[in-house]
């Protein structure tokens, strides 16, 4: 229950770091961290998700000159860019937006390039995103327009638990974010967690602040996402996951890690 604490202690800087980390996690890591963090503080995470960028941001929101500056700031620039864009849906669009000189360099490098593995492509895109963030912070390209929550959300005061009794947290528009009982400053009993649109995000039991027993997670449209059991705050046993296309699969966990 403390994944966000170190970020909240650093206020705005910690918030920025949390957003940066989410941007470069692989999909499984991002899904896991986001899901855990949403249970801990859905208001904080809502603002973090609003401020995320991805490779689409590089393509859509940066000017040609800014793209060139980002590429020039990357070690082994054309190899890195090839890892990020080779045979992707963005590759043709990138050629159109780059200068004639840069497009020529990309094409020349591409002639001897082999299709990268998915992991290598992800690392190439992450390198571009980290460079974008660095240049934004240095004002070398247009600074990012952060959308920040109030100070009490950034430093965690809005999510502090009472000693005991019923606890509710709300989004800025007054909609419920989470609710449940507290004993000795720890979550206890059945808790409900909600999306900003009012749909239930998750529900399950806490015992002395740790998730235990059967839990259910849902998509923002109300459909079931996944369900299974927690043991000592970690996923354990068989979990059923329902993809958005309706395909169901079973994943087995042992002490929070996927097992064969």
Report pLDDT digits (tens) over 8-50.
999 999 999 999 999 998 888 888 899 899 999 999 999 999 9
Q: Among positive and negative, which fits the CA dihedral 27, 31, 34, 40?
A: negative
Which domains, from first to last, does the chain contain? 55-137 (1.10.220), 161-260 (3.90.930.1)
List Cβ neighbours of 228 (8 Å cut-off, separation of 6 or more). 214, 215, 235, 236, 237, 238, 239, 240, 253
179 forms beta bridges with: 168, 192
pLDDT digits (tens, 9 = 90+) for 51-100: 999 999 999 999 999 999 999 999 889 999 999 999 999 999 999 999 99
């Amino acid at each position: 229950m403390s994944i966000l604490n170190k970020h909240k202690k650093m206020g705005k800087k910690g918030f920025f770091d949390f957003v940066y980390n989410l941007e470069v996690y692989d999909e499984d890591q991002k899904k896991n961290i986001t899901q855990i963090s949403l249970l801990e503080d859905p208001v904080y995470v809502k603002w973090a998700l609003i401020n995320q960028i991805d490779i689409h941001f590089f393509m859509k929101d940066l000017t040609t000159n800014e793209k060139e500056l980002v590429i020039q700031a990357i070690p082994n620039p054309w190899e890195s860019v090839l890892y990020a864009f080779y045979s992707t849906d963005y590759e043709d669009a990138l050629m159109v937006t780059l200068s004639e000189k840069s497009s020529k360099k990309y094409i020349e490098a591409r002639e001897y390039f082999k299709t990268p593995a998915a992991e290598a492509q992800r690392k190439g895109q992450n390198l571009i995103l980290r460079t974008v963030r660095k240049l934004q912070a240095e004002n070398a390209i247009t600074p990012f327009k952060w959308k920040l929550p109030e100070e009490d959300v950034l430093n965690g005061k809005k999510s502090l638990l009472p000693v005991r009794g019923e606890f509710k947290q709300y989004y800025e528009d007054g909609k419920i974010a989470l609710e449940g009982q507290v004993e000795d400053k720890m979550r206890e009993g059945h808790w409900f967690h909600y999306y900003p649109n009012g749909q239930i995000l998750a529900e399950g039991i806490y015992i002395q602040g740790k998730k235990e027993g059967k839990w259910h997670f849902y998509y923002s449209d109300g459909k079931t996402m996944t369900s299974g059991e927690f043991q000592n705050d970690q996923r354990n046993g068989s979990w059923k996951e329902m993809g958005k296309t309706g395909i169901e699969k079973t994943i087995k966990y042992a002490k929070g890690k996927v097992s064969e």
